[in-house]
Amino acid sequence: MNTIKVYDLTGRNAISMQKGDKIYQILIENIMEKQKTILDFKDVSLFASPFFNAAIGHLLKDITIDELLIYMEPTNLNDTGKELLNLVISNALSFYSEKENKSE
């Protein structure tokens, strides 16, 4: 099991797509290797959707929600962060399912 200390990559603010992409790169590699990853948000206090879109939402283009739930576990995420993460996941699932339906 791997642990990503988000604070070490973003500081107190997890807001930018660039920082989210750093998280994505680590997560996708771990998921492809079937390794569970803990995302530790200790000391991170500010969140924005571009960060979660790049870090987590983008994953749902290539993996299922079930795989995401198996291989990624967020911890120490405050209520605002949890709400935003859930919203981003929901939006990504809708976006990628609509995209799939249009290509059929």
Nearest to 27 by CA among 80, 62, 71, 65: 71
Task: Please answer whether residues 9 and 19 qualify as being in contact, where contact means their C-beta atoms are separated by less than 8 angstroms.
Answer: yes
| pLDDT band of 104, cuts 50, 70, 90 | low
The three-state secondary structure class of 43 is coil
Dihedral angle computed from the Cα positions of residues 4, 13, 24 and 22, in that order, rounded to the nearest 10 degrees? -90
pLDDT of 2-24, one tens digit each?
999 999 999 999 999 999 999 99
Query: pTM for this one?
Result: 0.90
The three-state secondary structure class of 41 is coil
pLDDT of 64-73, one tens digit each?
999 999 999 9
- Domain boundaries of the chain, sorted by first residue: 2-103
Task: Please answer whether residues 39 and 23 qualify as being in contact, where contact means their C-beta atoms are separated by less than 8 angstroms.
Answer: yes
